[in-house]
Structure formats: structure tokens, C-alpha cells
Structure 1
Amino acid sequence: MRLAIIGNESKPIPATEGGAVETIIDTFIQYNEKYINNKIDIYSKYNALSLKKAKRYRFTRGIYVNLKYQNSFLIKVNRKLNIINYKKIYINNVIGQMKGHSYDWIIVENRPDFVLPLREAFSDSKIALHMHNEHLTFRTVNAKKIIKALNKIIAVSDFIANKIKSIDINYAWKVTTLTNRVDINKFAPRYKDNGLCQKFNIDNQITTIVIHGRIVKEKGILEAIKAFKVARQFVSGLKLIIIGDIKNANRKYYRLLKEEINKTNNKESIVFTGYVSHNSVPDYLNLSDIILLPSIWNEPCSLSILESLAIGKSLITTRTGGTPEIVPNNCGILVKIDNSLVQQLAKDVVYLAKNKAKRNFYENNARKFAINNLDDRTFYNDFLKILE
């Protein structure tokens, strides 16, 4: 089988700049290289390191679009002013490079607005849309036309799938759910790294809470910090470690977080790690006694949550989007998002910090659930079965 996988205009593949979608595609490619050996062309935003990594593959070819003058500052400005249509420039460039190639399937990653230009250019090709977010709803321009133009739609959760099905029930049969997976050998329980323990002043008297993900409002980090400050009034020896890329964080939001931290009596109890490579994330997660992921948006199928389950840690997260589909009641605590969110998060942190037996219960069940349901070695074959 010959596949074309079209990434987005924001982050490159392989995932040298991070990104949940890009990380999942990396998993897809690596499994194919090792076991299946289908021919895959990856169309991606240019990045020199990604290009270098792609050249190491035997069965996968990286084809890159260099969007000149695109940088993080211009992208942020453009989001407000909408001067440059990077998406249109990108997909037109991709289509130009695709011409002359023949594929069994063209797979579009999370960009429904790429579908109609692709269908116009490749009228006889099979096109699948792999949806990771709420980018295709009844509010999407040309939503029905996009669905009609597709052969398959693969959604990462029933939450996303049902949104798409509701657009046009006549084409609901095209939509299938395939939950994201993780490397359960890489993300596995291990002893705490002594070097990291020394770096963050963690000892046996410390109960460590870890947050990991993008430093953005939607991830509920401000609410987590506020809840942590409340919990410290009832439990001594708490430490909060926030894993995330500060350089690419929303600056206004990051300042807000720092202001909140500065209001506490013990600022040293809250630490930002800065960017941590995906390969190193398991070592940081294994520092935790509790993982706190209080997203305040509709998480479709959070990779951070899946990694937390695989690592076998007590998890506190929010009942939102597709999260209830991947966090059974015996694997963690799901908190309702309402005006009492901070107080409830604090209450649950205190409860788990004082109750090691309950933490062990969640840890054991989370790891078992991950082994049985989240092994990324099953993802590639399940994906290909949908395309059959």
C-alpha cells in the first residue's frame, strides 16, 4: 500500500517541535518502518532537523514545504489580523508536489479545509480525514461538502465522531472512532531518577504533583496552581512541577501564572521545568505521586492523559470532551467543570496525598488499563483495517 500523509502548516513531521498530532504520526511511521513496510510520503512544514530524521527512514519519505517568513511572532500576529492565509499557501504547495504521484490513500491530519482542494486536484483518489479536534462541526464552512468529498473519517474519540456524524446523518457511516495510543514500554512505571530528585529537591517526605502539557489557558494550569495553594494549607510537603515549553507559551498567560505563584508564601514549592523532550517526559512523570491535568476545554483524546495512565500514576483530571472515554472510574478522579472547580481539585489532591492505599489502587488499575487498551503497537494495524 502507498500512503500520503499530510501534516499541518504549523508543526513539522517527524515531531521535532513537539505536538500531539505529530507525535502520533511519528508512532505510525516508526511501526511501519519496523513491521509493515508500506511506502509512505509525509508532506510537512519544513524543519531542518525533521528533514534529517526523515532521511534515516527506509520506507518513508519526507516532502517539505518551506513557508518563507513564517515564524512564531508572525503567526501570532497573523492570527489577529488574518493577513496571510498560511493554510491555503501550504496546501496549494503540497498539491503541487503531490502531482505525478499515485497513492492508495491520502490521509489528511486534522485539517478539514484541506479536503476540498485535494478532492478537486485528485478526483479519483481515496481520501481519509484523521480528526483530532473539533475542527469539523456544523459551524465549519462547507462542512457537508467536506464530508461528502471524503471516503473515510477517523476520529480520536466518540466525542469527536458524534459531532461529525451530526452534520449529515446520511454520511455517518463514513465515521469511525480510533482512540490514540502510546508507547507503553517507554511510558512505564520506574523508580524516581536520582538526578531529577536532586534537581527539584524531592525526597521521601515530599508528595510530588506533576502537570504536563502546553502552557495555555485551556489546560487549566492557573486553576491547578490555585488548587495546589489551597491543598498546601492541609498537607505539608507538597511540590508542584509543571512540565511545558515556556518559550512558546502564551506570554500573557504565563505572566498570569507567575503572578499567582508570587502570591504564595513558598514560591519554591512550584517549579516550571521548561521544554522537556518527549523521550525524557517519562522520567519526569515518574517523579510524581499525583498527576493533575485539569483541562477546561473539550479534550478530544488527550495524549498527556494516556501517557499518565501508561506510567501508572494517580490521575486527577476533568470530565470534559472525550476524557471519560479513556479514564475509567477505577483509574483516576474525574472532576466536573463548574464554579467550584478549584475547591474540588484541592479536595481531591488532599485526599490522594493523605491516602496512599487509594493512590496504589488507581496506579495499578491505570497501568493494567493501558496495557490492555492503549498499546501503540496495535494502532497502526487498526488504522489500516479502517482503510480496507
Structure 2
Amino acid sequence: MIKNMRIALITASERPIPATKGGATQTMMTHLIDVNEEYGEHHFFIFSYYDYLAYSKSKEYKHTSFYYYKPNAKMDKLQNLFWRMMRKLSAEQIYLRSNFIKWCVNTISKEHYDIVILEGQCFHTQYMRQLYKGPLILHMHIDRLNNELKSTKDIINCCDGLFAISEFCKRRMTNVVPCASEKIIVVRNTVDTDRFSRRGRKNAALAIRNKAGVKPNQKLISYCGRIVPDKGVLELVKAMVLLNDSNLKLMIIGSSVYAGSKKNDYILKVEKEAKKICGGALFTGYIEQSKLPNYLSGSDITVIPSLCREAAGNVTLEALGCEVPVIASSQGGIPEYADTMACRLVNCDEHFIENLAKEIHELAYNEKLYSSLKFHAREVAVAYNKYNYYRNFIHAVNSILNQ
């Protein structure tokens, strides 16, 4: 293992590091530097967009240096639109350029780094490689590099290493470039198991159940995520209708996209169908990340009915962290996170709705099964805590540098 590495991390979007404005990728990057702050094993260099709160918080770190980019909003936006248009017109032969990446490389070139890691910036990878010739890793957080993207091969080939968040995503990459298998390493996501926990949430969880109008004899089934067709929300509602059970209530946590988003035709269709649920349904709308553990802790079962090939399964881990058993579809990378010690999987086929209903009924009424899954839920989630994530991340960096 290489000691005292100098690791540069380039953020994936305009949300800053430390993660004062949220963001899944930004939160995981913050977990990395937080753990390293405790261990003091390496030195991280963060290249991020400027935010006053993030800048203020960055002063607390001894083992991380921060470089903040202050964008020219109009010029950067125009440049971004121009290169995106050129990329589209050229059938992805022309790659994206950005002032942010150029600024990062200009800053990086002034010092030595053992590795530079692009966090999710796949469309800027080729431009980064044109400007920077040192060791470069692309850390993908979604399923984007596959046969459906024309530039996948070029992006993979210009990296010294890639991190995928599931074996599913790695397979999708190696289907395009089979010889890249050794340099693609799976680094699974992390979850904040301190925050996603039932500990100290008894009253908050009870308040959520009261808000949902859950009766003493009812079980509360929850869904957490965007209300869009790919997530299978309508199929979940239809499964609940099919059960025709007054002892089962559904709580749908989320909206179509983000806070303040308006209801679209799909949400209206889901709401209309939900009125047929015998035990009733509650639509919470958008809920802030900080409050999600209360809602999950108030649930008896969480269902993840995704129809799309999910790259991973963070909601699975968040629910398990709150000691809530999960029923999930077997799509994409979900099964890699949904350990059967605490989860039940449902194949996504022509019988999906019927089988989903059967699993909900089985878990709601089989006390022995429910108790077993609930008992192991927290154990499964803790395996993905920030300390294990840090170790896996550092091990993966070493593997790339030692190739």
C-alpha cells in the first residue's frame, strides 16, 4: 500500500465540497475527507465550485487542501451550451470543454499529485486527458458508460483507471471495452449510517405514523424517491390495490424531480390509482434529506420497485440503516446492495405487479421472516459505512497505481 498519497478530487457539479448544499456524490466525497481527517493517512486536494459556507467549513481540515473556482456564470453557461451543441452535431466526435476543467488542470500542474480523480465528470474526461498527462481515474456514479453512449470507448481508453459503483456497471463498461476489465474497479457507495439510524427517533417515527394516519393494526409500506415511470411507482400502487388489504397503508415519499416541482400527468395518474388502495395512501411530497430518516424509521417495510436498470441501491441502504426490511426489484445493480439477509427481491417481468403484491403480503404477515430481516437490516447497512468506504476507495486507488 502506498503511504502518504497526494490525491486530487475534482467535484462532479457546481455543488461544493464540503457538502454544504447536499448532493449524493458531494456527500460521499465529504465522507472520504472526514475519515482521512481522523486517520491522517493521506492528503486530499479538493477542486470545487466556490460556496461561502463550504469555504468556511474547509478551514476545519488539516489533511485536505481546498481550491475553489469562482465561475463567470454567463460565460461558463454559454461555453457549456456551445460545446454540448457541437458534441451533439458531431455525433459525440467532439468532446466537451469547460473553463472549470481548464482551471483545475492549470492549478494541478503547479504541484505533484499521485493521482487525479474525476468524480462523475465523464463528458469532460477527454478534455481533461488532452490537458493533463498524469495518472487519471474516472469515478462513475451512474450507469452512463455503456453501448448506448457512442463515446464510451474513447472515454474508457483515455483513463488509467475507472471506479464503478456496482458489478452491473462494470459489466456494462467491459461490454464495450473487454480489455479494460483490470483497470475498472468496483467501489460501492456509502451511506451515512449515523444519520440513517432509528436511534433517538422513536418520537419522530411515531409522529410520522400519526401524520400518515396509521391505525394500530396497520403496517406502513413506504416508497422513497422520484415519482417517475422508470421507478415503478405506479406498479407499486397497483400491487397495493391488488392486495385489497385494509391493514396495509402506503406512504410515497418524494416528488417528480425536486423541491417545488409541479405535479405532472404521471403523478396525477399515480394519485388517482392510489385512491383505490383499501388501507389508504399518503403522498408526502418532497422531503429534505435531513428528515428522511424519520420517515423511513416510521415505516414497517420499504419497497423499491424500479423498472429501470439502477446503477446501485442507496435507498436500500438508507432504509436498512433505519432497521426497515426492503422489498426491491432485481434490476441492474440493486441486488448487489439488497442483501437477502435483510431484503426480498422480485424479478421484473410480466408478473411483476402480482409478485410484488405477494412479497408485500408475505413480509407483512410472516412474523418470523419479518423479524429475521429486520434483525439483520442494520448489520447489512453498516458494512457500507464511511469507514469501510474509505478503506475500499484507498485500496482501489492503490490497485490502479500499482498496475
Normalised-by-shorter TM-score class: 0.7 to 0.9
| 1:204 aligned residue | 216
SS of residue matched to 2:327: strand
RMSD of equivalent CA atoms = 3.4
When residues 267 and 28 of structure 1 are mapped into structure 2, their CA distance, relative to the original with a 3 A threshold, is farther
| 1:104 aligned residue | 114
| 1:346 aligned residue | 357
Distance in structure 1 (CA, Å) of the matches to 2:361 and 2:75: 46
User: Are 1:294 and 2:305 an aligned pair?
Assistant: yes
TM-score normalised by L of structure 2:
0.81
| 1:248 aligned residue | 258
User: Are 1:223 and 2:235 an aligned pair?
Assistant: yes
Aligned counterpart for 2:328 among listed residues 317, 332, 345: 317
| 1:27 aligned residue | 31
Residues 346, 356 of structure 2: 8 Å contact kept: yes
* Greater mean deviation of Cα atoms: 323-332 or 196-205: 196-205
- In the TM superposition, residue 196 of structure 1 has moved relative to its aligned partner by 2.8
TM-score normalised by L of structure 1:
0.84
| 1:364 aligned residue | 375
Distance in structure 2 (CA, Å) of the matches to 1:6 and 1:99: 14
- In the TM superposition, residue 294 of structure 1 has moved relative to its aligned partner by 0.8
SS of residue matched to 1:128: strand
CA displacement, residues 230-256 of structure 1 (integer Å, 9 cap, x when unaligned): 33x1x2133222222567279687442
Unaligned runs of 5+ in 1: none
Unaligned runs of 5+ in 2: 89-94, 399-403
* Greater mean deviation of Cα atoms: 321-330 or 50-59: 50-59
Distance in structure 2 (CA, Å) of the matches to 1:209 and 1:62: 44
When residues 265 and 386 of structure 1 are mapped into structure 2, their CA distance, relative to the original with a 3 A threshold, is closer
SS of residue matched to 2:298: coil
- In the TM superposition, residue 202 of structure 1 has moved relative to its aligned partner by 3.3
Distance in structure 1 (CA, Å) of the matches to 2:115 and 2:161: 10
- In the TM superposition, residue 188 of structure 1 has moved relative to its aligned partner by 2.9
* Greater mean deviation of Cα atoms: 248-257 or 205-214: 248-257
Residues 313, 338 of structure 2: 8 Å contact kept: no
* Greater mean deviation of Cα atoms: 281-290 or 221-230: 221-230
* Greater mean deviation of Cα atoms: 105-114 or 283-292: 105-114
Distance in structure 2 (CA, Å) of the matches to 1:97 and 1:289: 50
Residues 227, 267 of structure 2: 8 Å contact kept: no
| 1:118 aligned residue | 128
- In the TM superposition, residue 203 of structure 1 has moved relative to its aligned partner by 4.5
| 1:260 aligned residue | 270
CA displacement, residues 259-292 of structure 1 (integer Å, 9 cap, x when unaligned): 3323515799322333433333222211010101
* Greater mean deviation of Cα atoms: 295-304 or 306-315: 306-315
Aligned counterpart for 2:185 among listed residues 171, 176, 191: 176
- Give, as a single letter, the amino acid of the residue that structure 2 aligns with 1:5: L
Residues 221, 250 of structure 2: 8 Å contact kept: yes
- Give, as a single letter, the amino acid of the residue that structure 2 aligns with 1:261: E
Distance in structure 2 (CA, Å) of the matches to 1:110 and 1:148: 16
When residues 276 and 218 of structure 1 are mapped into structure 2, their CA distance, relative to the original with a 3 A threshold, is same
Distance in structure 2 (CA, Å) of the matches to 1:204 and 1:83: 60
When residues 242 and 29 of structure 1 are mapped into structure 2, their CA distance, relative to the original with a 3 A threshold, is farther
- Give, as a single letter, the amino acid of the residue that structure 1 aligns with 2:156: I
- In the TM superposition, residue 50 of structure 1 has moved relative to its aligned partner by 4.0
When residues 146 and 65 of structure 1 are mapped into structure 2, their CA distance, relative to the original with a 3 A threshold, is farther
* Greater mean deviation of Cα atoms: 169-178 or 273-282: 273-282
- Give, as a single letter, the amino acid of the residue that structure 1 aligns with 2:142: N
Aligned counterpart for 2:153 among listed residues 139, 144, 151: 144
- In the TM superposition, residue 302 of structure 1 has moved relative to its aligned partner by 1.6
Equivalent runs, 1:46-65 vs 2, <5 Å = 46-60=50-64, 61=66, 63-65=68-70
- Give, as a single letter, the amino acid of the residue that structure 1 aligns with 2:155: I
